[in-house]
Every structure is written in structure tokens, then in C-alpha cells.
Amino acid sequence: MCGIVGYVGSRSASPLLLEGLKRLEYRGYDSAGIAMSNGNGLETRKAKGKITMLENVMTGHPLHGSVGIAHTRWATHGQPNECNAHPQVDCTTTIAVVHNGIIENYGALRKMLKMQGHTFTSETDTEVLAHLIEAAFDGKLEDAVIDALNLVEGTYGIAVLSSKDPGKIVCARKGSPLLIGLGDGEFYVASDVAAILQHTRQVVYLDDGEMGVLTKDGYEVLDLNARRVSKGVSRIDWSLDEIEKGGFDHFMLKEIFEQPQTIENTMRGRLVVEEGFSKLGGLNLTKEELQALEQIIITACGTSWHSGLIGEMYMEELARIRTEVEYASEFRYRNPIVTDKTLCIVISQSGETADTLAAMREAKRRGAKTLGLVNVVGSTIAREDDGGIYLHAGPEIGVASTKAFTSQVIALALLTLKMGRLRNMSVVQGREVASAMLALPEQIQSILDRAPEIEAIAERFKDATNFLYLGRGYNFPVALEGALKLKEISYIHAEGYPAAEMKHGPIALIDSEMPVVFIAPHDAVFDKVVSNVQEVKARGGKVICITSQHESVLDGLIDFEIRVPQTVDMLYPILTVVPLQLLAYYIAVKRGLNVDQPRNLAKSVTVE
């Protein structure tokens, strides 16, 4: 959520900060602002709405200086308006703060500060930080920030300026990602590497409880006791081209069409087809430890939770190990059964999802081994897990996840191959699965080549008010994912159900205006799905069917058919989800909506 970017150096900061904010637009926001220290004091510019509104403000009232911080805000405390936008300042306008996260005890701190004579102008929890730093300031900004943060409960990624200690940015994190970018005589702070990738590939990731102090002459990392911390420098391998649209109308469409390549990247160097096995060097678990596992818990949120449901079926069917899928947001608020024979797999595209990170920490506290499936090298989950599988899907900018989902499922299939072959899967079955996995990139491309057919279906249903998605077995999670994609970007109400459950309630909704999407490839449960199609058709529903071959039993029952190639049952979700991604995309576009930045949503949810 939210976005932070800061710069200290010799260049004019304003254009660099505005450019950085634009790179962070995909994260979701409703207002934006900039603060600048120019040697003559502190000035801020803020605006509700898109960054173009902030640019308009700055055209009339420009900011000058070579030290500044900027922010895109996603409202939590207070309405999305100019007053509540960040940066927030103190009573004397000498301190400016940008903040991602939530200060949980801000009410008590606000009351205390008011009693001390401080005046508040916003509804935000962030303004408390500015006043706390003002109250603690005694000449050195980093000392005042330490004193203020020691009073704070909650999560934060912050960047701070002071006109009383000019030429300096102080940043700190607890539960919200933050990194320092290293340039030649200039330094950056950002919540996301995308904001600064055009200027540097050398970054230092801050961990919880750490603070960065940046001037144009250098940087240092301290803990919250002001002790220096030694940190390694990481290199970012993403190219600038990867975070551009590359000729596509939207990032989401680009990322859907990248899936043949991203699937291949996730598998590269990991499949041993002749042995029906996978090589996963980052697990940090021995063969004996893997064989000794008695339970797997998969925890995730949203789309990643759907990939986890598929992983659960993989593990139980092919590796014969008891597996549960948990919503990360619920996991640590109950009393889960976790032992030292438990493997907790945490799935997060960003590697920063607050609920998923908290669930992983709880599992570790209870003695489980943890394995992260993430797409961002250097993310918090990647640094704190016991081992992991990096997705290699490249940056995903569209808020509605597409290529990360299919890469997550592939990563789970790779892990299942390894676990299954160590347990009871035969080499023959392993070879069959591995060979089918190698065929997936070309098969996905064949679906994408028929995108105009799906666009024509979208034209027919762009004005629908409800959708029902139905699937069984491996394709039930695909029904959930297809419904989620449509909800996220088209704002059409959609539900995903196991097809057999339709009779237990949702069938009451079906009439001649209700489009029903069946995910029905020719797999082990195909015959069961056919009876559900008949039930919908008997009630006048409009049937859109994802199939894998012509079946005469469906003749006269399907209004629209989308054909996918044939594969082994367990891999159908990777194929059947692609037309559903395209269907959601085209419907949203035809409704005139911004598919890359859907309302109320953020790409990386870093608050609980």
C-alpha cells in the first residue's frame, strides 16, 4: 500500500520525486504530496487524487531544493483529502514525515501531545509522529526520531526531514518495507525498488528496528539504540523495461501475455525430466528433514491463497502428506496445531504482505520450518524464512495478480514433485508430470493467440451484474480465482463455488440474465460437472464453458466455449485460469475502468 520515495544529493529533487511517485502508482493511493528542505525552511505541496493533480499544484507553486521526501497515501485514518495527505508536519513546520503503516496507540499519544500544547490539523495517525519528533528534537534529527519511535506501537516505514537539521533524511521501518538506494554522491529512500530503479541498482534493505541516516556525503544504518549496524548491499536485476508497458494498453494485459515466459523462468534449471524430479536449492532442508515432515500448512492471502488451495491438493494426492491451507489473516488469532514436524509454506508475491509475514513469524515461534514462495528478492519474507522458492516472474505492476499466480502454482508443483519422489511417487508418474510441465509455455501461448475470441465473449457480458464461476477438483480454486479477478477490476459481483455446491444455495440465483462460467476440462471429474451444466441450462442460465476437447454430451448446453489444450489433471489450473484472466480484463476495459489501479485496492497490503 502507500508509497515512499526520498532523495538527497546535488540534483533538483522535485522531478526525481515526482518520477518516483509515478513508478509507485500501481500500489494504490488516493492522495500525494512532497516536502522539500531548501536551506530556507521546509515547504510542502499536497493534492487529493492522482499524481497529475500534485503536478498541477507544483506547476503553479514549484519547490526548489536537493533534499526531499514524497508519498502516495492510501487512506486509513481520515478521509482522502489534501489535509490528510502526507507529508504531515509539526506545529512549527520544521518537521515533515511520510509514513506507511498504522500507529496503533496514536489516540493516547495525540491526547498526551495536546495536553503539552501541540495543535493538530489532520485526522491522521501519522501527524502524531511529526509532533513526537518535534517534542524530542535537540539538534540531531536521528536522535529525535529514535526517541519518538520508542513511544510508538504499531507498524511504520517512515522518512523524515527537518529544516533544523538540513541536508539529511532519516528513515526507519517496523513491519513496512523500506530500502536505501546508493548512487554517486546521492542517496535515495523508497518503499519499493521500482521508484528508484532508473537511477540505481544498488540497494540496502532495512530490517525491522533499523534506521537509515542519509546525506549527500554518505549513509549509515543504526538500530533504535543508535548503534551502527553493518548491512550488505544487494543488486537489483530487474530492468527498467520490465516495469514499462512495452506497447500494451495496460500492465495487466502485458503480464497476462508474459506468462509463457514467466512459467518457463520459474521452471528453468529446476526440472529433471528423466528422473521425474525437481532440484530446489533454496529449501535449506535435507532429504531426511523433508521425509520426516508430518504436516504442511500453507498460509497466504487473496490470489496467493487460491494457489495454496491447489498446492494442498498436489501435496495430499501426490506426496501423501497432510496439508492445510490457512488464511494468513486468521492463522495467528487461533491456536493452530504446529510442531517441529510441520512445514509452513508462506506465499506472497511481494514478500511483504503483513498478515502473511505475521503468520510466518507465528509458525516459526511454534517450532515449524518455514518456506517462502515470493517474487521479490530481498523482501522481508525472503530474508526471514528458513528457505524458499523464488518465482522469477519479474515485476508485477498490475494490482490484480496474474503471472504471479501461475508461477506460484508452478512452484508448488515443483515442490510436490520433489516431496512426492522422496516419498511414494513413481519415476514414471514423475516423468509424466515433468514432461507436461515443460509443455505449458507453448500451451499457454496457444490460448493467448485466441484472445480475440475471449474479447468477443466479454463484449456480450460487459453489462452483466452478477457472475457465477463453478469448478470441481483442481479447478475449484480456479473458479475462486476467476471470480476474484472479475470482482477486482470490473466491480461486477461474482462468486466462485465447487460445482456440486451450486444445488445448496446458488442455484436460486440462476435465471436468463445470469452468466455461469464452468471450468470443465476433460479430467477425472468431467462427467460430474456435465450434470451441473445441465442444471444451469434447465433454468435458462447463460453457460460459458472452459473445455479441453469436443464432448458431444455438451452439445446444445454451452452458449460460449473456450478451448484449452489437454494436459495432466493437476496442471489444468495453469491453463484454465488464463482465459478467465483475459475475460475479466476485457470486460473491465469495455466498462471503461482502470484495470491497473482498481478502486480501493493496493498491490502490496502492508497493514493488517
**Radius of gyration (Cα) for the chain, nearest Å?**
25
Concerning whether 344 is annotated as a catalytic residue, the answer is no
Segment of 151-165, 520-534, 540-554 carrying the highest mean pLDDT = 151-165
State yes or no: pLDDT of 605 exceeds 70: no
Residues 90 and 228 occupy one common structural domain: yes
Q: Do residues 304 and 369 share a domain? A: yes
Q: For residue 499, what pLDDT band results from cuts at 50, 70 and 90? A: confident
Residue 598 in any domain: the answer is no
Residue 600, domain member (yes or no): no
Q: Do residues 131 and 91 lie in contact, with contact meaning Cβ atoms separated by under 8 Å?
A: yes
**439 and 455 in one domain?**
no
Q: CA–CA separation, 298 vs 306, rounded Å?
A: 11
Indicate if 364 and 420 belong to the same structural domain: yes
- Domain stop point among 417, 448, 479: 448
- pLDDT above 80 (res 26): no
Are residue 388 and residue 536 in the same domain, yes or no? no
Structure confidence by residue, pLDDT tens digits, 40-90: 789 999 999 889 999 999 999 999 999 999 999 877 777 888 899 999 999
Best CA proximity match to 274, nearest among 432, 431, 419: 431
Greater model confidence, 555 or 386: 386
Instruction: Please check whether residues 112 and 253 belong to one and the same domain.
Output: no
pLDDT, one tens digit per residue, over 335-344 is 888 899 999 9
Q: Global pTM?
A: 0.82
The CA-atom distances, in angstroms, between 324 and each of 207, 305, 331, 413, 435 are: 30, 11, 11, 16, 28
- pLDDT tens digits, one per residue of 238-294: 766 677 787 899 999 999 999 999 999 999 999 999 999 999 988 999 999 999 999
Q: What are 338's three cell numbers?
A: 504446529
**C-alpha separations of 371 from 111, 326, 354, 377 in Å:** 43, 15, 16, 14
484 and 566 fall within a common domain: yes
From the candidates 254, 403, 542, 603, give the one annotated as an active-site residue.
603
Question: Structurally, how many domains does the chain consist of?
Answer: 3
Q: What is the mean pLDDT of the chain?
A: 91
What value does the mean pLDDT take over residues 181-209? 93
CA 226 to chain centroid: 32
What's the pLDDT score for residue 602? Answer: 63
Whether pLDDT at 471 is above 80: yes
* 205: in domain: yes
Which residue, of 448, 471, 498, is where some domain finishes? 448
Q: Report the C-alpha gap between 278 and 276 in whole angstroms.
A: 7
Whether the per-residue pLDDT at 415 is higher than 70: the answer is: yes
Binning pLDDT at 50, 70 and 90, where does residue 540 land? confident
Q: Is 160 within a domain?
A: yes
pLDDT of the residue at 240: 67
pLDDT at res. 561: 92
Q: Quick one: pLDDT band at residue 357, thresholds 50, 70, 90? A: very high
Enclosing H/E stretch for 53: helix 51-60
Mean pLDDT of 369-384: 91
Would 602 be classed as within a structural domain? Answer: no
With a pLDDT cut of 70, the percent of the chain lying above it is 98
Q: How far apart are CA 486 and CA 11, in angstroms?
A: 44
Residues with Cβ within 8 Å of residue 217, at least 6 apart in sequence = none
Beta carbons within 10 angstroms of residue 497's beta carbon: 22
Distance CA 342, CA 331 (A): 14
Question: Confidence class of residue 1 from pLDDT cuts 50, 70 and 90?
Answer: low
Domain match, 270 and 403 both? yes
- At 80 the pLDDT is 83
Asked if residue 134 and residue 74 are part of one domain, the reply reads yes
Residues 438 and 456 both lie in one domain: no
- Round to whole Å and give the CA distance between 539 and 224: 65
| Band of pLDDT at residue 165, cut at 50, 70 and 90 | very high
- 567/409 Cα distance (integer angstroms): 15
Domain CATH for 274: 3.40.50.10490
Residue 344: closest CA among 381, 297, 414, 301: 297
C-beta of residue 75 within 8 angstroms of C-beta of residue 31: yes
Domain that holds residue 524: 451-590
Say if residue 264 is in the same domain as residue 194: no
CATH number at residue 53: 3.60.20.10
606 part of a folded domain: no
Tell me what pLDDT residue 457 has: 96
Q: Catalytic annotation on 91? A: no
Residue of 2, 171, 301, 344 marked catalytic: 2
Rounded-to-integer distance, Cα 359 and Cα 585, Å: 32
> How much is the average pLDDT of 370-386?
91
Q: Does 531 fall in a domain?
A: yes
What percentage of the chain carries pLDDT values higher than 90? 73
Same domain, 258 and 386: yes
Task: Let me know: does 431 contact 273? Beta carbons within 8 Å.
Answer: yes
Listed residues 400, 432, 448: the one ending a domain? 448
Any domain includes 601: no
